[in-house]
Structure formats: structure tokens, C-alpha cells
Amino acid sequence: MRFCGELNELDVRLSRLYHVPMPTTPTEPDPTAARRRWMGVLARADAATLRTRLAEAPPLPPHTRLRGPETGLVMARGRQGGDGAPFNLGEITVTRCSIRLQDGTVGHAYATGRDSAQAELAAVLDAALQDAGRRPALLAAVIEPLAAAQAARRAADAARAAATRVEFFTMATMR
Amino acid sequence: MAYVAVKGGERAIEAAHAWLAEERRGDPALAELSLAQIEAQLGLAVDRVMAEGACHDRGLAALAIKQSRGDLIEAAFLLRAYRTTLARFGASEPLDTGAMRIRRRISATYKELPGGQVLGPTFDYTHRLLDFALAAEGAPPPPAPRAAAAEATMPRVTGILAAEGLMAPEPASEAEPGDLTREPLAFPADRALRLQALARGDEGFLLSLGYSTQRGYGNAHPFVGEIRMGAVTVEFAPPELGFAIELGEITVTECQMVNQFAGSKTEPPQFTRGYGLVFGHGERKSMAMALVDRALRAEELGEAVDAPAQVQEFVLLHCDNVEATGFVEHLKLPHYVDFQSELEKLRELRATAQMAGQREAAE
């Protein structure tokens, strides 16, 4: 990341030298953050939902499996007292898959549960989304609708919780 | 202890298992229970099996409940056995329960606190009268009301006390915690190991122990600082990526018990916490765990260790229902040779005593 930062600084200095206008977006979003986001969205979508979304997207490129899909465990950790040192809470089933596209791009997927088809589709999507040419269409057809549906589910839960919030009425002293 | 290999029971065992399968299914004229139904409609049983089976997978827990005919200890056993067949990819980043998407959050120490008291889907305030309307299968209940949600996350009650310096802070450490599924438990066990054992411990056993601390076996004066239940994100950093990714969300229940602490030579009088964290919606379990966690901190806090709930070996070696059922139920296995030797010894003793009696009578 420091390397990227230096490159950005260099860009700024070069643009001043040659009076090249800088892009309107102040800084290019961190590519890791973007990938982290789509991987998180894909991890929360089952295979059936992914297939529905993919029906409206450009076809995925062919791939070869590098590892899996395979189901294993991740030990979930908590913190003592909620904010102290870590402890082992218990294991969670997790399914992972790694694939390679013909151009050599490698895609990975990890998701809770045992949905092998989800893991494989998510790994192919992870690889395809790394390609700047394919990314906009896949973001629009797959990732953004999934993210919106997931946000709506969270909002519905939050709204149900909010309806059970206790409103206290303070009794005024009457004289 | 010796077991004797017994042959010759194969046909009887096969017939017994066939009958078990028939009993499990029950009246074939009735519709068969689906795993989805168990997962959705017996959700708290699923949560308990995941917690005591120490393996979070709702579908597998539902299968275990169906297979065990609703015997939840047997179901936890099945889940534990299954997890041994899977490889471990690694350990998650510690769950951030402070960032929990709250479904329920209550405090018994503050009436009005930032974020408020959120009751969530609770049995509290129900009248515990059997609801015969449920006996008649009918239309689904009307949708629960919704209201505008203010903030996504809520501050911790322990944080409010800590800000005033009245709550003992948790020692900051990122030390790799011990894992009792990899290394046998040795004593004294540190708090990380104790919490792991309690998190998978039997709810009934921990409930009774927690209750004992309230009744005077252990010097507990607990308040529920906070109970929160909701979804937390599980993050994991695969080595091939080098950064943490989100694997999904799980529901957990957390309980912070606030306890008095008289202070010591080095520490001022302040509150200390007992901590409970369990998979799923497990409020009673999280409360019992928090009570027992605090009781087990007696030695570390310089308090007398004189009640069962304060004794590490007693609590940690007996709280696991899969281990306990294994040892109790092994008594059913053939002990023919053991018992034969006991029989012979007893007959010999009685014969000797009888002879001594006759000799005395003769003299």
C-alpha cells in the first residue's frame, strides 16, 4: 500500500509538471477494499440466488478448479469480556474454492455453510471481477443487487428490533 | 476397567436399529419433518445443539436433532463427531460484538441508556399459559410491527462504566488462545480456555452452578449489565489473500454480568465482569456462563475459593455433556468380567464372615 501511495504522489507531481488534470475522484479506491466488499457480498448469497443474478449478467468465462470446492472449519473467536484477549468460541462450517481463468487470474471464495456450488460460483465471480473490463457489468448485474437485498434484510431486522424498543414515561410529581 | 468383546449380538443390534428408525419416523400417515422445518420452527433447539456441539451449522444441527429424535445431548454428540471429519482452515478474527446488529439488547443496570432497551423476540412478559391457538394449525401470524431504526450499533454498558473508571478493564492482549480441542485441559486453566469450555458446556449444568452462586455458594452479587443478541460478521484472513474477508454472519448472544469487587492491595474497589458468549439465541446459557465465568475468577481476584462453582477442576471437567454422557452411559457396556470378580470377592467375604461366626458360636 505504501508503494501505491508513492505512485500516487508521483502522479500528482507529474500532473503538476505537465498540467494534466487529475481525475475528479480524489483518490482511486483501495482495490483490496473493493475486492473485500464483493467477496463479503458473495459469501452471503446462496447458489440459487447467485444463479438468478447471473442469468442477467454476461456469461462467466471458463475456469479450472485449483482447490475445492471443499468444506472445512474455521474456529470462531470471541474476546474475553467482549473487548479483551481472544478465546476460542467454537467452530463454524466454511466452504472454500479457488479457481483459475484461462488468462491466469485466480479467484477465491470462502463462505459459512456447506454450499459448494455457491463457493465455486463466487470464486469464478471473484476472478472475473478482478478484470477491469468485466467488472462494471458484473457489479451492476450481480454484486449491487445482492448488496441491496442484503441491506434490505438487515434494515427489516433493525426495524423489527426498533419496534420493540421500550419508551419510558417519567411520571411527573403532582402537587 | 476392562471391557469384554462380545460377539453374537449383530442380528439383535440390526433389529434394534431398524426399530429405532421406525420409531424415529413415527406414524407414516403423518407428514415427515423436514430439516428446514426444524431449522425454522425449532430454532432454539438448533441453537442449543450448535452451542453444545461447538459447531455452528444450522442445517447440520437440524439433521442431528432429527436423527436423535429430539434428544439434544445425543444431537450435540452427533455434531461433535461430524466436526472431527472436517479439516480446519484456520481461526477467525475475534468477533466484534460491539458492532453487533442488535435484535435484542437489555440492561438491568440502566433504565435509559444510549440505544435504549430493545426487547427483541423474547419469551419475557409472556404469561406462560399454554397457547391452544398453536395446537390448531392455521395461517401464519401477522407480521411484527416495524419502526424507524435509529442507530445500527449500540455502545456497551461495560464501556459506560469503564469510562468512569468503575469497571476493571480487560487486559489487552492478542496472545494466541489455547484450544482444548487440540491440547488436553491442564490446570490451572487460563480464562481463554475456561471460556471455551463454558461456551460448549451443558446449559443445565451451568445453569445450576450459576444458580448456586446466587444462593450463597460463592460470593456473587451480580447485575445483568447487558444482554445483547444479534448478528455479527465472521471475518477470516486466508493466507493466500493476506487480508481479512467476510465469511458471512452468525447470530450470537452475549451477557455481561457486573459484579462487586472489594479491591485488593493493588486494585481499587471496582466492578468486575463475568462474561458469557454463545452461538445462536441462547440467553439463559449466556447468563449462566457469565455467572460461572465470574465465579471461576475468584482465585485471580484474590477471593476465597470455597464453593463448587469456583473450583476449576470441578466445573471444567464436568460441564461437557458429551464427555459426561460418554462416561455415564459406558456403564451400560458389558462389564461381565469386572462384575464376575466382584461377585467372587463378595461371596468369599461372606463365606469367611460366616465361618468366623460359626467358630465363635462353637466356642
Across the interface, do B50 and A77 touch by the CB < 8 Å criterion? no
Say if B294 falls within a structural domain: yes
- Shared domain for B357 and B290, answered yes or no, is no
User: How much is the average pLDDT of B125-154?
Assistant: 85
Q: What is the pLDDT of residues B333-342, one digit of tens each?
A: 888 888 899 9
User: How much is the average pLDDT of A7-27?
Assistant: 43
Cβ contacts of B243 on chain A, cutoff 8 Å? 32, 36
Across the interface, do A74 and B147 touch by the CB < 8 Å criterion? no
User: How much is the average pLDDT of A47-73?
Assistant: 95
Report the residue from B55, B231, B247 with minimal CB separation from A91.
B55
Alpha-carbon gap: B297 to the closest alpha carbon of chain A (Å):
12
Please state the ipTM of this predicted complex: 0.92
pLDDT of A171 over the 70 cut: no
What does the H/E/C string look like for chain B? Answer: CCCCCCCCCHHHHHHHHHHHHHHHHCCCCCCCCCHHHHHHHCHHHHHHHHHHCCEECHHHHHHHHHHCCCCHHHHHHHHHHHHCCCCEEEECCCCCHHHCEEEEEECCCCCCCCCCCECCCCCCCCCCCCCHHHCCCCCCCCCCCCCCCCCCCCCCHHHHHHHCCCECCCCCCCCCCCCCCCCCCCCCCCHHHHHHHHHCCCHHHHHHHHHHHHCCCCCCCCEEEEEEEEEEEEEECCCCCCCCEEEEEEEEEEEEEEEEECCCCCCCCEEEEEEEEEECCCHHHHHHHHHHHHHHCCCCCCCCCCCHHHCHHHHHHHCCHHHHHHHHHHHHCCCHHHHHHHHHHHHHHHHHHHHHHHHHHHC
Beta bridge partners of B106: B227
More confident residue, B171 or A92: A92
Q: What is the CA radius of gyration of chain A?
A: 23
Tell me how far apart the alpha carbons of residues A110 and A172 are, in angstroms, rounded to a whole number: 56
pLDDT of A28 over the 80 cut: no
Segment among B67-76, B91-100, B135-144, B263-272 with least mean pLDDT? B263-272
Say if B284 falls within a structural domain: yes
Cβ contacts of A93 on chain B, cutoff 8 Å? 55-57, 60, 86
Report the residue from A40, A114, A166 with minimal CB separation from B245.
A40
Report residue B160's pLDDT band, with 50, 70 and 90 as the boundaries. Answer: confident
Say if A122 falls within a structural domain: yes
Across the interface, do A36 and B244 touch by the CB < 8 Å criterion? yes
Report residue A173's pLDDT band, with 50, 70 and 90 as the boundaries. Answer: low
- Shared domain for B220 and B307, answered yes or no, is yes
Say if A64 falls within a structural domain: yes
- Shared domain for B58 and B119, answered yes or no, is no
In chain B, the residue whose alpha carbon lies closest to the alpha carbon of A76 is B92
Tell me how far apart the alpha carbons of residues A63 and A123 are, in angstroms, rounded to a whole number: 10
Cβ contacts of B111 on chain A, cutoff 8 Å? 168
Alpha-carbon gap: B14 to the closest alpha carbon of chain A (Å):
31
More confident residue, B10 or B151: B10
Say if B57 falls within a structural domain: yes
Residue B170 pLDDT:
85
Residue A170 pLDDT:
58
- Shared domain for B222 and B295, answered yes or no, is yes
Strand, helix or coil at A98? strand
pLDDT of B112 over the 90 cut: no
pLDDT of A34 over the 70 cut: yes
Across the interface, do A157 and B91 touch by the CB < 8 Å criterion? no
Say if A164 falls within a structural domain: no
Number of domains in chain B: 3
In chain A, the residue whose alpha carbon lies closest to the alpha carbon of B200 is A90
Say if A73 falls within a structural domain: yes
Say if A53 falls within a structural domain: yes
Alpha-carbon gap: A40 to the closest alpha carbon of chain B (Å):
5
Average pLDDT, chain B: 92
* Rounded percentage of chain B residues whose pLDDT exceeds 70: 97
All three cell numbers of A64, joined, read 479450472
More confident residue, B154 or A89: A89
Q: Count Cβ atoms within 10 A of the Cβ of residue A105 and give its class: 0-12 exposed, 13-18 middle, 19 or more buried.
A: middle
Residue B153 pLDDT:
67
Residue B150 pLDDT:
73
Say if B131 falls within a structural domain: no
pLDDT of A93 over the 60 cut: yes
Q: What is the pLDDT of residues B56-88, one digit of tens each?
A: 999 999 999 999 999 999 999 999 999 999 999
Say if B264 falls within a structural domain: yes
Host domain of residue A59: 31-140
Report the residue from B91, B230, B241 with minimal CB separation from A75.
B91
Alpha-carbon gap: A93 to the closest alpha carbon of chain B (Å):
6
Say if A1 falls within a structural domain: no
Non-local CB neighbours of B283 within 8 Å, separated by 6+ positions:
B104, B122, B227, B229, B253, B255
Report residue A169's pLDDT band, with 50, 70 and 90 as the boundaries. Answer: low
Report the residue from B91, B95, B149 with minimal CB separation from A161.
B149
pLDDT of A44 over the 80 cut: yes
Name the residue among A48, A131, A39, A56 with its Cα closest to residue B240. Answer: A39
Say if B58 falls within a structural domain: yes
- Shared domain for B268 and B353, answered yes or no, is no
Say if A74 falls within a structural domain: yes
Per-residue burial over B74-83, b if 16 or more Cβ lie within 10 Å, else e, is bbbbbbbebb
Residue A8 pLDDT:
44
Host domain of residue B21: 10-83
In chain A, the residue whose alpha carbon lies closest to the alpha carbon of B227 is A82
CB contact at 8 A, B189 and B297? no
- Shared domain for B163 and B52, answered yes or no, is no
Residue A5 pLDDT:
41
Say if A57 falls within a structural domain: yes
Say if B89 falls within a structural domain: no
Cβ contacts of B104 on chain A, cutoff 8 Å? 161, 164
* Rounded percentage of chain A residues whose pLDDT exceeds 70: 79
Chain A contact probe: residue of B48, B55, B89, B226 with most A CBs at under 10 A:
B89
Of A156-165, B5-14, B58-67, the range with the highest mean pLDDT is: B58-67
Say if B144 falls within a structural domain: no
- Shared domain for B319 and B185, answered yes or no, is yes
Residue A17 pLDDT:
40
Q: What is the pLDDT of residues A97-138, one digit of tens each?
A: 999 999 999 999 999 999 999 999 999 999 999 999 999 999
pLDDT of B219 over the 80 cut: no
Report residue A7's pLDDT band, with 50, 70 and 90 as the boundaries. Answer: very low
Which residue do the cell numbers 439434544 mark?
A: B72
User: How much is the average pLDDT of B91-111?
Assistant: 93
Report residue B301's pLDDT band, with 50, 70 and 90 as the boundaries. Answer: confident
Number of domains in chain A: 1
pLDDT of A23 over the 80 cut: no
Tell me how far apart the alpha carbons of residues B118 and B226 are, in angstroms, rounded to a whole number: 11
